[in-house]
Amino acid sequence: MLKKIIISILAVLGFVACSQGDTTDITGRIAMKGSSIHTYLVLEDIETKKSVKLTKYEAFGLMKRQNEVVTLKVKLLHKSAGAGFPAVVEVVEVK
């Protein structure tokens, strides 16, 4: 019984540790993409020239900072699914 409890606690700690370390810094230009009602805010990465779709950007006022070059700490939510479907990231911090 004690072994099961210890293994369970270690597994939970492992998942928590993995989920906290998956952020990265991206530098790029903020822009609006899409057309009509299907628009979304993206960060066009300077190094890779690829765009990533931003979520939870309202708290940082990024809509007002379009066409500015910024560095963001982001967390990957979904990988890119091809042309027209950029990777989706959650904004954690504006640097």
Confidence bin at 12 (pLDDT 50/70/90): low
What DSSP letter does each residue of 22-77 carry, written as one string? Answer: -EEEEEEEEEEEEETTEEEEEEEETTT--EEEEES-GGGTGGGGTT-EEEEEEEEE
Domain chopping of the chain, boundaries = 23-94
Domain covering 23-94 assigned CATH 2.40.50 in the classification: yes
pTM above 0.85, yes or no: no
At 44 the pLDDT is 94
Mean pLDDT for 14-32 is: 75
Cα distances (Å, whole numbers) of residue 74 to 19, 37, 58, 70: 13, 25, 14, 12
Model pLDDT for residues 37-88, shown as the tens digit of each residue: 889 999 999 998 999 999 999 999 999 999 999 999 999 999 988 887 899 9
Confidence bin at 22 (pLDDT 50/70/90): confident
